Amino acid sequence: MEKMKQSRCALKSADLVAWLAALALCCGTAFSQQSLETDFRTTGDAVLAAFGTQRQVIQKSSAVIYNGRKEIAYGMVVSPDGYILTKASQVEGTSDIGVRVDTELFKDAKLVMTDARWDIALLKVEATALVPATYAPDSKLGQGTWVVVNGATSRTKRRILAGIISAQAREIPAAGGPALGVTLAESDEKLEIEAVSEGSGAEGAGLKKGDVIVKVNGKVVKVLKDLVKLLEDMKAGDVVKVSLNREGKVIEADVKLSAKGELFANESRNDEMSGDFSKRRSGFPRVIQHDILAASSTMGGPVIDLQGRVVGMNIARANRAETFAIPVEELKKLAEGMVAQARK
């Protein structure tokens, strides 16, 4: 008898506790008698074997990014001499970046630059003969078009996963406005930090409970309204200069603004169902969407079509059913622009 934890898929507030444990209705023995062997499922080896030529592209032109020995992201080869693109928020703050392309491991990869708007980072490794994938002319693939990505990896082999374009290309607005990531107490025209949100830009910049915010970008802030007004014209990813009073001393800090929705979001029921999702999954100018099962640590790699051409780069695991990728039009410009700037 198979036990199964289940969850209904309607969004109902009343359903918050609807993880149904071991529903006898559909977990009967009849199930196990009529079950498709793993190999023949959509993620199974027999099915994925049909994507042999696409797998070769992923093997040669995608990258695996490590922090020490831990896999933290995937990436994409953009030049023969070792420029690699990946998802910035997955690699920021790591000290020991390694990159594997094909069977070769490059230690001491350098984080050259990042683009906050798209959440991508350019890495550089010491290489001479990497094989960048070819870009597709555009990302205008109809819904239902096959796409292939790096799904898992060993030291020598990339294992692909395949899926389809599942929705219309579009902008993903930042979830909520920009925020420093602090809870403030306002008294006597003084803004004192009561708490610093985990994973926020404020935490990253070292802001602490008890600090008093004096200025933001050179402008004096005394009440919450001042701060709200200042942030009005900014967006998540922008960096602001914050002057703080800490025990009588003035301290300066550069704080990267976070998206309010991603900072304070109580995990929704869909997040709970998804298990794993990207920390940064909103605020992208344009994305294409596919249905490949992914994890936050498998973002950053190329998305290729049946012809083996790059149509995008995985940028956010939004939830268990939706993954976002930067479309090739924007991706190509970003890659070429960043590499050109790095070579200067």
Partner 1 sequence: MRRVFSTTILSIVASLLPVSAFPLNSKKAPESLDDLMAIQEALQAALPRAKAATVNIDLGEGSGSGVIVSKDGLVMTAAHVSGGVGKDVKVVMPDGTELKAETLGLMAETDAALIRITEKPEGGGDFPFVEVNKTDDSKLGDWIFSLGHSGGFDKDRGVVVRLGRLVRMANTTIQSDGTLIGGDSGGPLFDMDGRLIGIHSRVGPQLPVNMHVPVRVFLDGWDGMLKSEFVGEGPFAEKPEKGSGFLGIATKDVEGGLEVTKVGKGSPAEKSGFREGDLLQTFNGQKLSTRDGMKVLLAEMAEGDKVTLEIKRDGKDETITLRLEKR
95-96-99-105 Cα dihedral, nearest 10 degrees: 170
Report the nearest approach of partner 1 to the CB of residue 65 (Å): 23
82 versus 327: smaller Cβ distance to partner 1: 327
Residue among 118, 114, 54, 55 at smallest CA distance from 84 = 114
Check binding of 278 to partner 1 (CB under 8 A).
Answer: no
142 versus 218: smaller Cβ distance to partner 1: 142
42 versus 154: smaller Cβ distance to partner 1: 42
H or E element in which residue 164 lies: strand 158-164
Residue span 33-52 as binding mask against partner 1, x where in contact by CB under 8 A, dash where not:
-xxx--xxxxxx-xx-xxx-
Record the tokens describing residue 234, joined without a space: 């900014």
- DSSP-assigned letters across all residues of 103-121: TEEE-S-EEEEEETTTTEE
Among 67, 145, 217, 245, which residue interacts with partner 1 (rule: CB under 8 A)? 145
149 in Cβ contact with 54 (< 8 Å): no
245 versus 319: smaller Cβ distance to partner 1: 319
Report the nearest approach of partner 1 to the CB of residue 200 (Å): 24
| Binding piece for partner 1, criterion CB under 8 A, among 2-10, 80-88, 204-212, 222-230 | 2-10
Burial environment of residue 140 by CB neighbours within 10 A (0 to 12, 13 to 18, 19 or more):
middle
Query: How far apart are alpha carbons 328 and 136 in whole angstroms?
Result: 7
Report the nearest approach of partner 1 to the CB of residue 146 (Å): 6
Give the three-class secondary structure for 316. strand
Phi first, then psi: give them for residue 24, nearest 5 degrees: -60, -25
15 versus 104: smaller Cβ distance to partner 1: 15
166 versus 217: smaller Cβ distance to partner 1: 166
212 versus 306: smaller Cβ distance to partner 1: 306
241 versus 320: smaller Cβ distance to partner 1: 320
Query: How far apart are alpha carbons 3 and 225 in whole angstroms?
Result: 54
Query: How far apart are alpha carbons 239 and 257 in whole angstroms?
Result: 6
Residue ranges in 212-271 that form contacts with partner 1 under rule CB under 8 A: 268-270
Report the nearest approach of partner 1 to the CB of residue 331 (Å): 20
Record the tokens describing residue 119, joined without a space: 């959440």
Looking at this protein, which amino acid is placed at residue 334? L
Burial environment of residue 14 by CB neighbours within 10 A (0 to 12, 13 to 18, 19 or more):
exposed
Residue span 312-341 as binding mask against partner 1, x where in contact by CB under 8 A, dash where not:
-------xxxx-------------------
- Total residues at the site for partner 1 (CB under 8 A)? 60
Report the nearest approach of partner 1 to the CB of residue 257 (Å): 24
Check binding of 308 to partner 1 (CB under 8 A).
Answer: no
- Which residues in this chain contact partner 1 in the complex, by CB under 8 A? 4-15, 20, 23, 25-26, 28, 30-31, 34-36, 39-44, 46-47, 49-51, 53, 142-146, 163-164, 166-168, 170-171, 268-270, 273-275, 289, 291, 293, 306, 319-322
